[in-house]
Structure 1
Amino acid sequence: MTLHISTPFVQSQPNSRRLGKPVWLKMEAAQPSGSFKLRGVGALCEARHAAGVQRFVASSGGNAGLAAAYCGRELGVPVVVVVPESTPSRARDLIRLEGSELIVRGGTWAEAHEFALSLIGPRDAFVHPFDDPLIWQGHATLVDEIAASGPKPGAIVLAVGGGGLLCGVLEGLQRNGWSDVPVIAVETDGADCYARSVAEGRPVELAQITSVATSLGARRPCDGALRWAQRHEIHSVVVSDKQAVEAAIRLLDEHRVLVEPACGAALAALDCDTPVLQAASSIAVVVCGGATVTAQQLLDFAARLD
């Protein structure tokens, strides 16, 4: 029994018609905490709980903290989540609703992260939002489910923040014998630390996050994600905030599923002039979800960006 659930892998008829090929959606927005984060965070929390820890301490911009809070409630372990001031009020409310202690500290996730680390006691476990091999192993189950349920995709599209989902999907591809499946790693302009890092061949830290896709708000990617760029075919795509928000609204209209702009970024890549996607016989998109936005906020973003 795992804390995450097996999510639907469905063919998107609207996207398939637009692109002239099968487009499949891995619906991680259906996870109990609202995003794919529950897979990796759940794997980490279960392992630490089995080892006897007394408390989880997490740093987060929103969704990872919500996943940690959910895990703590399910496992009966107290949780402290530290978020920056940029974390939406909806995310804060959802974390509190799970029964966790919420601390708001600093203007950025990096500052919240440093404070969270200072809270760690000898019987606590730290829950990183993306940079932990246990988290990557948990995210890899997403590919296990795709492999069990359907044909091998010609390409996989996903959004990148700190790189945890990317590392997990790549691990999943490798362990399922799908090392030849290219991955399209999508970010929004203003939160594109991975694309810049890959282009320069070294970690690049953004001075600030200027995108509305705050869930992509790591200022630098984890080293594991950069190592994968040397071992697997990864194509970086950067879309605008406007494209990401419009794609999220279109998903809501066509599939009745609400996701954050960070997830909309991956969906927006379907409409970009990307040769590897044009050549792929079929495409799988990780609909990573995100529970910290409302439909009205998406419409407000769209109006502001128009």
Structure 2
Amino acid sequence: MTLHIQTPLLESGAMSAPRGQIVWLKMEAMQPPGSFKIRGIGHACEEYVRRGATRFISSSGGNAGIAAAYAGRRLGVPVLVVVPETTTERAKQLIRREGAEVVVHGASFQEANALAQSMVTPADAFIHPFDDPLLWQGHASMIDEVAAAGIKPDAVVLSVGGGGLMCGVIEGLRRNRWESVPVVAVETQGADSLSKALKAGQLIELPGITSIATSLGARKVALQAFEWARQYGVRSEVVSDQAAVDACVRFMDDHRVVVEPACGAALAVAYDAPTLLGGYENVLVIVCGGVTATVTQLEKWADDGV
């Protein structure tokens, strides 16, 4: 038994083009903790328990901490999550609801992550939100499910924060011998560390995160994400916060599912697929989910402009 569920793969009538292009949605927002994170984090947590871990310590801006807390509760292992000061009250509440302890530290994820790592003892397992090969192995299972459904995409569209989802998707494409399938990696302006690294030809660290898509708020992507992005010719796209929020609201109307702006980044490209992805017949969009934004917050952002 795994801690994640097999999620629906849906054809989107709202996004698919009338001239034959089909947009498929991998509905990771339907995972029990609300995001794709449980695939990799659940896999890692199960493995660390097999290795003898008696506590999980996680660093997170939100969704990874929720997934770690959920995994710990299901496995009967105590969890401590260190979050930065920018983490929303809703995210902290959801982590605590799963029975985990929350420590708030630092102005950004980097400070929270450093404290979390310093607290790890030999009896603990450190659960990184995106930079761990065990996570990528777990995330890859979503591509296994797409392959099992008999659908081979011509392109995969996904959001990028620290790069864990992208590494997992590429791992899944590799193990299904789909290395030739292109990946379109989408970020929001102000959280576009991958885009800037690819343009610079080297890993770079943003001075800060100015996007409202805080789940994409890694100032520097994982080294493996950067290297694979270059190796596989990942196409980078950057959208505005407003485009991401508008896509979330539109997706809520079209598909009756609430996601946060971090997921809305990929949805914004998907909604413009006939223009941005015109050469592909079967487009797979990873609806990564996220539960740190409410309907009220999305509507306020949409009404006020961001």
**Structure 2 length normalisation: TM-score?**
0.97
What is the Cα deviation at residue 52 of structure 1?
1.2
After TM superposition, the runs of 4+ consecutive aligned structure 1 residues lying more than 3 A away are 17-20, 271-276
In 2 relative to 1, CA 6–155 (structure 1 residues): closer, same or farther, beyond 3 Å?
same
What is the Cα deviation at residue 268 of structure 1?
0.3
Matched residue, 1:137:
137
What is the Cα deviation at residue 303 of structure 1?
2.0
Identity of aligned residues (%): 56
Structure 1's unaligned 5+ residue stretches are none
In 2 relative to 1, CA 70–273 (structure 1 residues): closer, same or farther, beyond 3 Å?
closer
Equivalent positions of 1:277-296 (< 5 A) are: 277-296=277-296
Aligned-residue Cα RMSD (Å) equals: 1.4
What is the Cα deviation at residue 273 of structure 1?
7.7
Instruction: Give the distance between the partners of 2:141 and 2:270, measured in 1 at CA.
Output: 24
Does structure 1 conserve the Cα–Cα contact (< 8 Å) formed by 2:188 and 2:239?
A: yes
Matched residue, 1:242:
242
Matched residue, 1:72:
72
Matched residue, 2:51:
51
Aligned residue type for 2:72:
G
What is the Cα deviation at residue 71 of structure 1?
0.3
Instruction: Give the distance between the partners of 1:74 and 1:171, measured in 2 at CA.
Output: 26
Equivalent positions of 1:2-13 (< 5 A) are: 2-13=2-13
Structure 2's unaligned 5+ residue stretches are none
CA-to-partner distance for each residue in 1:29-75, whole Å, 9 max, x for gaps?
00011000000101110000111111000000000000000000000
What is the Cα deviation at residue 118 of structure 1?
1.2
What is the Cα deviation at residue 19 of structure 1?
7.4
What is the Cα deviation at residue 255 of structure 1?
0.4
Instruction: Give the distance between the partners of 2:112 and 2:20, measured in 1 at CA.
Output: 45
* Aligned residue pair count: 306
Does structure 2 conserve the Cα–Cα contact (< 8 Å) formed by 1:181 and 1:233?
A: no
Matched residue SS, 1:158:
strand
What is the Cα deviation at residue 270 of structure 1?
2.3
Matched residue, 2:41:
41
Does structure 1 conserve the Cα–Cα contact (< 8 Å) formed by 2:247 and 2:271?
A: no
1:155 aligns with 2:152: no
Does structure 1 conserve the Cα–Cα contact (< 8 Å) formed by 2:63 and 2:91?
A: yes
**Structure 1 length normalisation: TM-score?**
0.97
Matched residue, 2:213:
213
Aligned residue type for 2:258:
L
